[in-house]
Amino acid sequence: MNSLAQIILKPKIFDVIGIGFGPSNVALAIALEEHDIPQSALFLEKSRDFAWHPGMLLPDATMQVSFLKDLANPRNPRSRFTFVNYLHQKSRLMDFVNLKTFFPSRTEFHDYFSWCAEAFRDRVLYGQMVTRIEVVGSCEIGGPLYRVTALEDGVVHQYLARTIAHSCGLEPVLPHGIETSDRVFHNHYLLSRLEKAQVAKGSHIVVAGGGQSAAEICEYLLGLDPSLSVTAVVSRFGYVPADDSPFVNQIFDPEHVDSFFNATDDGRRRILDQHAATNYAVADLDVIERLYWTWYQDKVTERRRFRLQRCSRLLSADKHESGVSLRLKDLSRDEDLAIEADYLVCATGFRPRSPLALMAPDLAGRILTDDIGMPRLGRDHRLKTDDPGVPPLFCIGTGEASHGLSATLISNMAIRAGELADTITAHAMQTVKGMTDAHG
C-alpha cells in the first residue's frame, strides 16, 4: 500500500473523487488548484504511473492540435501549467520557437502531460482499480454521498465524496469477428506488441484502417526495417486529408459547445455527419504525401514494400502457426480477397467507455440513457437521473452526441475543467450551507 493510501484511510469526505488520471482529470486537478475557493480532491488511477496511449508514442508522430490548446492556457494563459511554461522549465522554450510549429511531437506532449500530473502526486493514488460506485445514505457530515470502492493488489479500499468526476476514457474497437492474438492486435498496443513479437526480417504486416493512426503506423513500420513490407487496407480509394480549414476548425472552439448542445437532435447528427472529416477516418496531408512518396519510390525501385488495398474491408483473420490468413471484401467489385500476412494491426478506432458498468445496480437504474444505452448528460456533463437527490456525477469524454466533436479530444479540456471546477465548488458550498442550516 502506498503512503498516500495510508494517510487517507481515516474517514474523510472529499469534495470530488476523480476516476482515472489521464489528461482530462489532470486538467480538472489544475482547474481545482487554481480556483478561488479550494476544494479537496482525490484521483484514483489503475495504472502504476501516468500514461497517455503509450502504445502509440511513435517517434515521428506529431500532435494534431495546437500546443496553445493545452491543459490550462485556453482557461488561464497565466497558469504555471501551460505548455509554454513547461518548455521554459525544461530550458527548451527558444529551441521550440525555432521549430516554427504549433504542433509538438506526441512524445513531447506526453512528457508535458506527465509534468503536469507529477505536480498532483499527493492527490493521486496510482495502481487502484475502481470496482464500484454507490450512493450511501444521508449523514450528519453531509450526504447523500458517493462511496467508491477500489482494489490495490487485492486490498479493498473505500473512499467517500460529494461528487464524482469519471474520466471514462476510450476502449479499442476491433472489426466484427476479429479476435486479438499474438499476431492480431489493435494499434493501441502497437509498440509493446511489436517489442514482444520480435518481428522477423522480411515480415509482411497488414494495417487495417484509413485514419491518422493507420497512416502513421504504415510510415513507422516502413522506416523500422527496410526488409518489412506493409499492406494498407482502406475502405476508400485512398487516404483522405483531414479538414482543418479555419472556419470548419471552429467546431472545436469552446463557445460552440453551447450552440451544439442547444441544437435539435437532427441538427446535432447533421453536424457530426457533415464534419466527421475533421477527426474520423482522415489523416494529415503531410503524412499522406510522405506515404505516397514511399509508394512511388517502390515503383521506381520495383521493390513493392508498400501496397494499398483500396476500397476494401476486413472480414476475418485466422491465425495459424506461421502467420495469419485474412479475408477482405473488395467493395468496388463485391468480391472476396485472400491475403497472407505475418501480423495484422487494426487501426480501427475507439469508443467511449460507459460509466454504468462501475455503478451499483440501484445507482445505475437511476441514470437516464439514450437509444444506444449511453448515459444522458446535462450541459455541465453531469449525468441525468430520474432522482434529483442523486449527487453530481460528471462523465467526461462520452458526450460527443450532446456536446460535439471536441468532447473526446484535447481541444476543449481546459475550458471544460474550469466549468467542472465551478460546479463542484458550488455543490460543495451548497452542501456546507445545508449542514450549517441543519445544525442551527
Q: Which pLDDT belongs to residue 279?
A: 83
pLDDT tens figures, 54-71 = 999 999 899 999 999 999
For residues 149-162, average pLDDT: 95
Please, where are the H alpha helices in 238-397?
246-249, 255-261, 265-274, 285-301, 361-364
Going by C-alpha positions, the residue among 435, 434, 396, 391 that lies closest to residue 160 is 391
In a domain, 264, yes or no: no
In-domain check, residue 272: no
Query: CA 76 to CA 27: how far, in whole Å?
Result: 11
Residue 248 lies in a domain: no
In a shared domain, residues 152 and 177? no
Give residue for cell 459547445: 257
Cα-Cα-Cα-Cα torsion 435, 436, 439, 440, nearest 10 degrees, comes to -150
Number of domains in the chain: 2
CA angle 239, 245, 246 (to 5 degrees): 160
For 317-347, the pLDDT digits (tens) are 999 988 999 999 999 999 999 999 999 999 9
The last residue of one of the domains, among 317, 350, 383, is 350
Confidence of residue 437 (pLDDT cuts 50, 70, 90): low
Query: Is 159 part of any domain?
Result: yes
Same domain, 20 and 56: yes
pLDDT at 139 over 60: no
pLDDT for position 153: 94
Angle at 181 between CA 176 and CA 187, to 5 degrees: 70
Residue 137 has pLDDT above 80, yes or no: no
Residue 217 lies in a domain: yes
Same structural domain, 212 and 303: yes
pLDDT at position 138 = 57
Give percent above pLDDT 90 in the chain. Answer: 80
Confidence of residue 397 (pLDDT cuts 50, 70, 90): confident
pLDDT at 41: 96
Q: What beta strand segments (E) does 110-169 contain? A: 124-126, 129-136, 145-152, 155-161, 164-167
Domain boundary among 302, 322, 350: 350
Q: Are strands 350-352 and 170-172 parallel, antiparallel or unpaired?
A: antiparallel
Examine the domain organization and report whether 402 and 421 are in the same domain.
yes
Position 149 in a domain: yes
> Looking at residue 126, which CATH number applies to its domain?
3.50.50.60
pLDDT, average across residues 134-163 = 86
Average predicted confidence (pLDDT) for the chain: 91
Asked whether the bond before 144 is cis by omega within 30 degrees of 0, the reply is yes
Does 31 share its domain with 57?
yes
Say yes or no: 158 and 84 in one domain. yes
Lowest mean pLDDT among 80-89, 269-278, 414-423: 269-278
- For residue 433, the model assigns a pLDDT of 57
What pLDDT score was predicted for residue 113? 98
Please determine, for residue 6, whether its predicted confidence score (pLDDT) is greater than 60.
Answer: no
Question: Which range of residues forms the domain containing residue 334?
Answer: 172-242+279-350
150 and 194, same domain (yes or no): no
CA dist., res. 398 & res. 170, Å (int): 9
* Comparison of pLDDT for 229 and 12, the residue scoring more: 229
Q: Is residue 255 part of a domain?
A: no
Residue 411, pLDDT > 70, answer yes
Please give the grid coordinates belonging to residue 79.
497558469
Q: Is residue 312 part of a domain?
A: yes
| Domain closes at, from 350, 372, 402 | 350
Arithmetic mean of pLDDT, 414-419: 96
Residue 67 confidence (pLDDT): 97
- Same-domain check for residues 62 and 100: yes
- Give the pLDDT of residue 115: 98
What span, in angstroms and rounded, lies between the C-alpha atoms of 15 and 420? 12
Rg of the chain over all Cα atoms, to the nearest angstrom: 24
Identify whether residues 31 and 106 lie together within a single domain: yes
The pLDDT of residue 8: 47
Do 149 and 177 lie in one domain? The reply is no
Query: At a CB cut-off of 8 Å and minimum separation 6, what does 61 contact?
Result: 105, 106, 107, 216, 220
The residue with greater pLDDT, 141 or 292, is 292
| Residue 38 pLDDT > 90 | no
Quick: pLDDT tens for 244-300: 999 988 999 988 999 999 999 999 999 999 998 888 889 999 999 999 999 999 999
Q: Are residues 189 and 292 in the same domain?
A: yes
| Residues 161-201 pLDDT 10s | 999 999 988 899 999 989 999 999 999 999 999 999 989 99
Instruction: Check residue 432 and give its pLDDT.
Output: 62
At residue 146, the pLDDT reads 95
**What pTM was estimated for this model as a whole?**
0.92
Residue 11: pLDDT band by 50, 70, 90 thresholds?
A: low
Show contacts of 370-379: CB within 8 Å, 24+ apart. Answer: 370/401, 374/398, 374/401, 376/402, 377/402, 377/403, 379/258, 379/261, 379/403
328 shares a domain with 189: yes
Q: Are 218 and 288 in contact (CB under 8 A)?
A: no
